């Protein structure tokens, strides 16, 4: 995968970076979809206005799981408790935040068979959206390859080799998506 033309090498490096970012996005989205046990990372994305700055809750509180269905948030500054509750309610996490004046509890309901099927549909959609975005990256890379080959008079053999490398990278990442999807689906359906 090392070519004499530096533009081709740069094209492949940029393409792989973009695919990697898309895959990282998929993994982060999968984290937010609850499987059998809740994960504190579900609330890490939620941000609140803290003295004029949008700040993630994880930077303002201790977040822990007390059991398989409960997340406890203990803010360091009690003045943000009401703001956190509003933000958590607006985040649509599938539960209503309960506060006792000092801490916030998020008790998630037990997953039913119907809920599990809906979650599986959701992760399939996330995976398909990621595949589509990766295919769009491939299309963009192929377009760039055509421009480079026309401008720099690159041989047809070398263009074919780069096209093969671009497709192979995509196939590898699609395989990673399929493996991650199968694992997440298994986690969701396991009771």
Q: Are residues 58 and 28 in the same domain?
A: no
Give pLDDT, residue 38: 78
pLDDT value of position 191? 64
More confident residue, 173 or 109: 173
pLDDT at 138: 94
Within-domain flag for 61? yes
For the chain, what is the domain count? Answer: 2
Region 141-148 average pLDDT: 89
Domain boundary among 107, 123, 142: 107
Residues 6+ apart with CB under 8 A from 31: 39, 41, 42
Largest Cα span, the chain:
71
CA atoms within 13 A on the CB side of 135: 7
Range of the domain at 139: 6-32+112-189
Q: b/e for 50-59, b at 16 or more Cβ within 10 A?
A: beeeeeebbe
Q: With respect to residue 25, please indicate whether it lies within any of the assigned structural domains.
A: yes
| Contact of 108 with 70, CB cutoff 8 Å | yes
Q: What percentage of the chain has pLDDT greater than the value 70?
A: 97
Mean pLDDT over residues 2-30, rounded? 86
77: helix, coil or strand?
coil
Instruction: Give 78-120 pLDDT, tens digit per residue.
Output: 888 888 888 888 887 778 888 888 888 988 888 788 888 888 9
Report field, pTM of the whole predicted structure over 0.85: no
Domain identity same for 117 and 185? yes
Residue 175 has pLDDT above 90, yes or no: yes
Same domain? For 165 and 185 the reply is yes
Instruction: Classify 95 as helix, strand or coil.
Output: coil
CATH number at residue 73: 3.30.1360.40
**Which of the listed ranges 51-65, 86-100, 123-137 does the model predict with the highest average pLDDT?**
123-137
Q: What is the pLDDT of residue 148?
A: 84
Q: How confident is the model at residue 189 (pLDDT cuts 50, 70, 90)?
A: confident
Q: Which two tokens stand for residue 5?
A: 């033309």
**Given 107, 125, 145, which residue is the final one in a domain?**
107
Task: Calculate mean pLDDT across residues 5-26.
Answer: 90
Asked whether residue 46 falls in the same domain as residue 18, the answer is no
Predicted local distance difference test score (pLDDT) of residue 167 = 94
pLDDT at 4: 60
Same domain, 21 and 56: no
Instruction: Flag whether pLDDT at 182 surpasses 80.
Output: yes
96: left (phi over 0), alpha (psi -120 to 50) or beta: beta
**DSSP, residue by residue, 101-166:** SS-EEEEPPPPPHHHHHHHHHHHHHHHHHHHHHHHHHHHHHHHHHHHHHHHHT--HHHHHHHHHHH
Answer yes or no: do 120 and 101 share one domain: no
- Rounded to an integer, the average pLDDT of 8-27 is 92
On whether both 100 and 124 belong to a single domain, the answer is: no
Question: In terms of domains, do 18 and 46 share one?
Answer: no
């Amino acid at each position: 995968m090392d070519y004499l033309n530096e533009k081709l090498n740069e094209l492949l490096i940029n393409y792989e970076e973009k695919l990697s970012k898309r895959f990282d996005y998929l993994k982060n989205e999968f984290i937010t979809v609850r499987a059998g046990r809740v994960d504190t990372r579900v609330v890490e994305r939620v941000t609140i206005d803290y003295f004029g700055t949008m700040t993630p809750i994880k930077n303002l509180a201790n977040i822990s799981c007390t059991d398989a269905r409960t997340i406890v948030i203990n803010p360091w500054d009690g003045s943000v408790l009401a703001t956190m509750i509003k933000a958590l309610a607006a985040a649509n996490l599938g539960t209503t935040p309960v506060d006792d004046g000092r801490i916030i509890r998020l008790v998630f309901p037990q997953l039913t068979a119907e809920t599990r099927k809906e979650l599986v549909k959701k992760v399939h959609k996330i995976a398909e959206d990621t595949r589509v975005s990766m295919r769009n990256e491939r299309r963009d890379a192929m377009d760039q390859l055509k421009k480079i080959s026309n401008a720099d008079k690159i041989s047809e053999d070398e263009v074919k080799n780069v096209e093969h490398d671009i497709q192979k990278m995509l196939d590898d990442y699609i395989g990673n998506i399929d493996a991650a999807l199968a694992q997440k689906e298994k986690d969701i359906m396991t009771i």
